[in-house]
Copies of this chain bind each other. A is one copy, B any other.
Amino acid sequence: MSGTVYLVGSGPGDPELLTVKAQRLLEEADVVLHDKLPGPELLGSIPADKREDVGKRAGGEWTPQEYTNRRLVELAEAGHTVVRLKGGDPFVFGRGGEEAEHLAEHGIDFEYVPGVTSAIAGPGVAGIPVTHRDHTSSVSFVTGHEDPTKDESAIDWAALADTGGTIVVLMGVGKLPMYTAELLSAGMDPETPVALVERATWPDQRIGLGTLETIVEVRDDAGIEPPAITVIGGVAATRSRVRAFLKNGPDPGDDAE
């Protein structure tokens, strides 16, 4: 009798942003397969003897997705209740869809347990709503880390600019110069507000604020590094209007601008 695999979102890192269901499943699980994305505080709260790290390995290499897929099937076939803990939500740029398909192909029961995505909570804790009636009717999420086996970017930045909606880029610190240039040449206003949220909801979270034209300089001056989220659009200016009364950290005086 095979066990069940739970594809569980951990949320953005603050352990209090786990769902009640994720917290229960972490207690009930025999094994928790995870990478580094759930963050040190949350991982530290899981007993070490039931954790298996399938993220970066000793030699600095990444565990191939095929290994994780195989390991999930192996553990379930051995009758274990398995939690596959993923940063944010399992189905947002997390390869959770591939894991679900692999489990179904191998006849393993699985359940999806959604999590708070940092794509929304990251901007949010900085006081930035990804949608706002006065600014935008849509929001698009893209990843700065695309499939490295693809020859060229599958992201149509000009089409994203044309939507007129907020654009949120996950893992987009490194390629910031590339896509801000693409958006500018697609005709987006150079004065469009842009925010960077580094290590969203973690104790050492930092925020950078600028425009499509200035944000690369803000990043460089402040030394903002991955993991961080980029928010592009009118909504990014909300932080400066609300931060004096916003109780989510960090201190507004520390903003890089």
Residues of chain A touching chain B, judged by Cβ–Cβ distance below 8 Å, are 4, 9, 11-12, 14-21, 23-24, 89-93, 95-98, 100-101, 103-104, 107-112, 114-117, 120-121, 123-125, 127-134, 137-143, 146-147, 153-156, 159-160, 162-165, 235, 238, 241-242, 244-248
Contact = CB atoms under 8 A, between A and B. Distances in A.
A15 B4 contact: no
A127 B103 CA distance: 12
A12 to B, nearest CB: 8
A95 B162 CA distance: 24
B120 A114 contact: yes
Instruction: Work out how many copies of this chain go into the complex.
Output: 2
A61 B104 CA distance: 47
B156 A112 contact: no
B140 A127 contact: no
B124 A247 contact: no
B17 A245 contact: no
Nearest to A126: B112
A106 to B, nearest CB: 9
28 contacts: A9-B116, A11-B114, A17-B19, A18-B20, A91-B123, A91-B130, A92-B139, A97-B133, A98-B134, A100-B246, A101-B242, A104-B241, A104-B242, A110-B245, A111-B247, A112-B248, A117-B117, A117-B120, A131-B143, A137-B143, A137-B154, A138-B140, A139-B141, A140-B140, A140-B163, A142-B165, A159-B164, A160-B163
A93 to B, nearest CB: 5
A130 B92 contact: yes
A131 B16 contact: no
Nearest to A147: B133
A245 B110 CA distance: 6
Contacts of A128: 91
A247 to B, nearest CB: 4
Given A104-B246, A130-B92, A114 B109 contact: no
Nearest to A128: B91
